A and B are shown apart, each in its own frame.
Chain A
Amino acid sequence: MSRTGAEALVECLKKQNVDIVFGYPGGVLLGIYDTLFDADILHVLPRHEQGGVHAADGYARATGKVGVCFGTSGPGATNLVTGIANAYMDSVPLVAFTGQVPTALIGGDAFQEADIIGITRPIVKHSYLVQNVDDLPRVINEAFYIASTGRPGPVVIDLPKDVVAGKTKTKCSGKIDLPGYNPTYEGHPLQIKKLLKELSEAKKPVIYAGGGVIISGATEELVKLSEKIGLPVVNSFLGLGGFPSAHENYVGWLGMHGNFASNMAMTETDFILAIGTRFSDRSTGRLDGFAPNAKIAHIDIDPASISKIVDIDIPVVGDCKKVLKQMEEYLDKFNWEKNAESRKGWLKKIRAWNSERPFSYKKSDKVIKPQFVVEEICRLTDGEAIIATEVGQNQMWAGQFYKFKHPRQFISSGGLGTMGFGFPAAIGAKLGRPDKHVFDIAGDGSFLMNMQEICTAVQYRVGVKVAILNNKFLGMIRQWQHLFYNKRYSYSCLECQPDFVKLADAYGCVGLIAEKPSEVADVIAESLKIEDKPVLMDFRVDREENVYPMVPAGAALNEMIYGE
């Protein structure tokens, strides 16, 4: 049956089980919007395309499904760029549709024309400029497949206006024919055996588990492996939630603001089993001081991530969950008794480190400590909420003081470090997981970057809770200026700020403020009662609180500083 490109597009989205899209209309998208008007798909209108793409990202991270967003040609498309780059860095499955001027006008500097394929080329997993309406169903099919398989990532589909308006009979199903794209899922058995052999001979082994564990859904297998052999588990920042933080084998997270035990364990270990992590520079610290005595095995679905930063002794290319299952099969072939005592002693040492130097701060009953706010949110939500974060101190405190139980519970911009990500991502997460409390743990600076999305949350009755750790500073910038630039606070002070309670009121949602530590719990408890609209909580926190421990840039992991 012949239908327009726009109709085919909506039909293909339905076929991909897309029930929610985040998009902003524009001239060349009008054909699609006319079709979406009647479609059985929830279309969410953000107030800025960047909000839309981050919401799609948050939705994808919270649900494991592909996030979908729309932006029109030119400025609509370029406004998506930050969100696409963000999804690329953190391996988030995303399909971004952009409008394009009619094919006959492409290249002529037409109104609202931008070469979005060229602009996004370095930050996409793949992209398409659809030049013929008959290609559209195949392209959508391929795009969802590419975005969600292998190492996930964003795919851009650029849609010229005439292609969307054209007629096609092409069906939405069809075999995927991508001869150059064959992700490896099963690990090589020889490599896996080699890994287990080395692991059995290690005296101070550590599992270093990253976001790949969450993406592949390997938590259960990871817990099993850790328990069976008695292996401590260190998370990367994006790995938080991939291993239950209350587990007795849990060490913490490593890196610039990770905990003492993790950074020490990584420095002293003799064998790292890295799973689904890319050895980000924020995690490793100075490379020549990183795990100086360790052999390193690395399981990752992306071969290019292996030995990219750190030289790997035993590479295993494959899906984390599949490879962990394969490991289970061979486990009994190796002698785990031999070094069981050393491993026990090692675990004991790590636990001692953790009780000696846990994440901590100077408590106060006069001024609100930002860490206290996060602890209270954790306590009052029983550690079950989905936590999105902005970027900066708020993000680090969220990672340090919320105790995560489950995968897909922590949503944060790890790779790109995008200020303004958390709030729209929280909206997307809440739309995907309405059964959960969803918080955006925010700084005042980051929140101001995309606060226009309050409108979106109000319109769609999205009950997200924004906890602004308000210190009237770009806190992390101030911290670096404090530590490394002689307290010269060059343009990091946010002297002008809205009254967040009145702002909430203006948008038709709820604003709450806490100025004393004794008010914190009440404000959070109040927010938990409100489910049909967003809540802004303005926590007036200690203005000059720093995040510790800290591995200064260029230092090794064991060269942490702990404050004055």
Chain B
Amino acid sequence: MRHIISVLVENNFGVLSRVAGLFSGRGYNIESLSVGVTDDPKFSVMTIVTHGDDKIVEQIIKQLRKLINTIRVRDVTQMDHIEREMMLVKVHASPKYRAEIFGIVNTFRGKIVDLTTESMVIEITGTKDKNKAFLDVLEVYGIIEVVRTGSVAIARGSKATTDFTKQDLKH
């Protein structure tokens, strides 16, 4: 099962390596990990996408909670949530195909952020599936390079993702 874990941490020296090291040291898998500071510069939120059965995910969450600098750990996949990742895609775009690609970018609600006679760079955000679909369509033109941020996720509604109680979760 794919799980998205949201971790509120103190914005201290070495926190990222403690979290990442916990995954590598205990043999857990990380699909993506993205970190950014919150509105309060003392704290950061990490969004970690991982795979594992219930027992493994339970251990991941418990081990993350054990770290001294983690404040809240939540399995966002148990909540109604919004998930996004951003990609920058550099693709071959000779004048012959440019209009076609424009059309695709519009369909996927992407943004062209750089253009040369031979190529363009497209910024696109969405779920992992949407972004994959976009890359599939673009592939025929010749993708030069893709960089992506990894997922970030947030719960729907007025409560902070990392502040939900057990009752708020679906099960």
Contacts and interface: CB of A to CB of B under 8 A. Distances in A.
A178 B68 contact: yes
Contacts of B25: 122
B65 A129 contact: no
Q: Describe B's contact surface by its main secondary structure.
A: helix
B71 to A, nearest CB: 4
Interface in A80-112: none
A326 interface: no
A125 B68 contact: yes
Interface stretch (B9-17, B83-91, B121-129, B148-156): B9-17
A94 to B, nearest CB: 15
Nearest to A118: B17
A308 B63 CA distance: 10
Interface stretch (B54-62, B95-103, B132-140): B54-62
B13 A302 contact: no
Nearest to B63: A304
Given A121-B18, A129-B13, A304-B63, A180 B71 contact: yes
B70 interface: yes
A71 to B, nearest CB: 20
B68 A126 contact: yes
A225 interface: no
Q: Interface extent on B, as a size class? A: 20 to 34
Contacts of B52: none
B65 A303 contact: yes
A122 B21 contact: yes
A307 B68 contact: no
A307 B58 contact: yes
Interface string A166-203: 00000000000011110000000000000000000000
Contacts of B10: 179-180
Contact of B62 (A118, A129, A303): A303
A178 B13 CA distance: 15
B13 A180 contact: no
Contacts of B13: 129, 131
A458 interface: no
B166 to A, nearest CB: 13
Contacts of B65: 303-304
Given A117-B14, A121-B17, A180 B68 contact: yes
B71 A179 contact: yes
Contacts of A307: 55, 58
27 contacts: A121-B14, A121-B18, A121-B21, A122-B22, A122-B25, A125-B68, A129-B13, A129-B14, A131-B13, A178-B68, A180-B9, A180-B67, A180-B68, A180-B70, A180-B71, A181-B68, A302-B66, A303-B62, A303-B65, A303-B66, A304-B59, A304-B62, A304-B63, A304-B65, A304-B66, A306-B62, A308-B59
Given A117-B14, A127-B14, 4 more contacts: A121-B14, A178-B68, A179-B10, A303-B66
